[in-house]
């Protein structure tokens, strides 16, 4: 049986690495780990992660700020005999400042938008032909509760918190993923909030809001995300907004 091919962006740390470790533990998978610098020590270290029987790892370069990287990566995958992708998890993203709308600098919004929005568009456009060659393609956007427009009753509510550089990019990402679902009837496409996770990004955000650290561990988030992705079908999950713990939530 052919292996399940999974591409994950932003894999050398945080949620991306957590997802990578769990997918490598699944037998008969080919995992494509994408990040901005495969030669960085944190990237090279991924090769030493344990792998299940029949599972392999391929490192490729996709820098979300470089428009041509996804197309170049697709060419590289072809040279390795990879002509389709079964699951693509668009995880790479940045957040480095948390201002009010009255104080946000447009150039800071632009930096977040280049990575978190434009980078995803370049990735999607380059990989869509490979997804379409899968028998059961899934596109998963790692979204954020920072982009929820309906205040939830969860401790992870982000609406009351100032977040005018990062949050708008995730609102757009949610919209784009809904549009992908509508435009491509053969895809199972949905955004999912990974929770407020104890990554560098998550903990920096926590400190900015006067909290010691984020709410959940990388391991908890990654396990929940994969459980949702594994269960997802177009009919049950496509075009809907999800949370790592399996809840569907309002847009």
Residue 157, pLDDT > 70, answer: no
| Mean pLDDT, rounded, for 22-50 | 96
pLDDT of residue 202: 58
The model's pLDDT over 134-153, given as tens digits with 9 standing for 90+, comes to 999 999 999 998 898 876 54
Domains of the chain: 4-249 (3.40.50.720)
Q: How confident is the model at residue 158 (pLDDT cuts 50, 70, 90)?
A: very low
**Token pair in block for residue 136:** 């059961």
Q: Does the annotation mark 166 as catalytic?
A: yes
Q: Percentage of the chain with pLDDT > 70?
A: 89
pLDDT at 154 over 70: no
pLDDT at 161 over 80: no
Distance in angstroms (rounded) separating the CA atoms of residues 100 and 188: 35
The pLDDT assigned to 155 comes to 46
Higher pLDDT, 199 or 61: 61
Provide the edge-to-edge strand list for the sheet that holds 87-90.
Answer: 56-61, 29-35, 4-9, 87-90, 138-142, 188-193, 241-243, 248-249
Residue 95 has pLDDT above 80, yes or no: yes
Q: What value does the mean pLDDT of the chain take?
A: 92
pLDDT of res. 200:
63
Q: Which two tokens stand for residue 73?
A: 């990566």
Residue 213 pLDDT more than 90?
no
pTM of the model: 0.93
pLDDT value for 205: 60
Catalytic residue, candidates 26, 138, 170, 178: 170
Whether residue 78 has pLDDT greater than 80: yes
On the CB side of 67, CA atoms within 13 Å amount to: 3
Identify the sign of the CA torsion 199, 138, 71, 178: negative
Q: Which of 23, 51, 138, 166 is catalytic?
A: 166
**Rounded distance between C-alpha atoms, residue 90 and residue 138, angstroms:** 11
**pLDDT for 206 beyond 60:** no
pLDDT at 94 over 70: yes
> Mean pLDDT over residues 216-231, rounded?
95
Backbone angles phi, psi at 175, to 5 degrees: -60, -45
What DSSP assignment string belongs to 105-117? -HHHHHHHHIIII
Quick check: 203 pLDDT over 60? no
pLDDT of 22 > 50? The answer is yes
pLDDT digits (tens, 9 = 90+) for 54-63: 999 999 999 9
pLDDT at residue 38, as a whole number: 94
Q: Is 170 a catalytic residue?
A: yes
């Amino acid at each position: 049986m052919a292996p399940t091919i999974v591409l994950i962006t932003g894999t050398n740390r945080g949620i991306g690495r957590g997802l990578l470790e769990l997918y490598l533990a699944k037998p008969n998978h080919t995992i494509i780990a994408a990040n901005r610098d495969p030669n960085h020590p944190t990237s090279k270290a991924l090769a030493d992660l344990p792998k299940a029987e029949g599972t392999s790892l391929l490192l490729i370069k996709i820098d979300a700020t470089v428009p041509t990287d996804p197309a170049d990566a697709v060419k590289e995958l072809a040279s390795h005999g990879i002509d389709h992708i079964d699951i693509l998890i668009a995880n790479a993203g940045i957040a480095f400042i948390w201002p009010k709308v009255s104080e946000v600098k447009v150039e800071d919004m632009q930096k977040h938008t280049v990575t978190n929005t434009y980078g995803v568009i370049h990735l999607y456009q380059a990989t869509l032909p490979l997804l379409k060659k899968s028998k059961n393609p899934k596109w998963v956007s790692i979204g954020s509760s920072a982009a929820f427009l309906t205040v939830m009753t969860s401790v992870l509510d982000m609406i009351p918190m100032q977040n005018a550089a990062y949050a708008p990019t995730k609102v757009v990402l949610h919209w784009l993923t809904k549009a992908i679902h509508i435009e491509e009837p053969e895809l199972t496409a949905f955004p999912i909030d990974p929770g407020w996770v104890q990554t560098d990004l998550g903990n920096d955000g926590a400190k900015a809001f006067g909290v010691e650290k984020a709410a959940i561990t990388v391991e908890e988030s990654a396990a929940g995300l994969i459980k949702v992705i594994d269960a997802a079908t177009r009919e049950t999950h496509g075009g809907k907004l999800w949370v790592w713990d399996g809840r569907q939530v309002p847009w």
